[in-house]
Structure 1
């Protein structure tokens, strides 16, 4: 899935996205890697149904929550500085694995 919100993370902020309790109690697990300082884009949400039963997830219900952690200092090397491969993603982005020649 893709988040409704577009994020622009400041250079002195790190975020963690966690699945919400109600869905987790139903066996729906949300996984998202941290949003590094200066990452920008829509969030790709990895959603797993850990039960054998089908489940429906509706748009705009709030399946996850984002925690923002502000540092006293800016990071030395940000996601933008590293030219991260998921920078400014607009939609659901599949894994971009490194090839052996990269």
Structure 2
């Protein structure tokens, strides 16, 4: 349908339009979908961590260290396939009550 809409335009205009459409689809549809999956994986990872006897609260410290290590050199979240470290920390804090239901510390 898009090709038909620009069919009578010069080739350069067609190429520019299709490139812009591709970038728009990537940023507007695919990347947010990927970030959503990453956050879902974090949630289940916390639960499995707790079930294995590891304290899921430690995930917060992990992502704080990752945030410090990146020194702000990450791309803006809207251009990334992964949530920012700050967003992960925020979401992990929300997921923790559920994960803690599964946590039984392993005796040392």
Query: Which one has the bigger helix percentage?
Result: 2
TM-score by length of 1: 0.23
Query: Which one has the bigger strand percentage?
Result: 1
TM-score by length of 2: 0.22
Larger-gyration structure (1/2) = 2
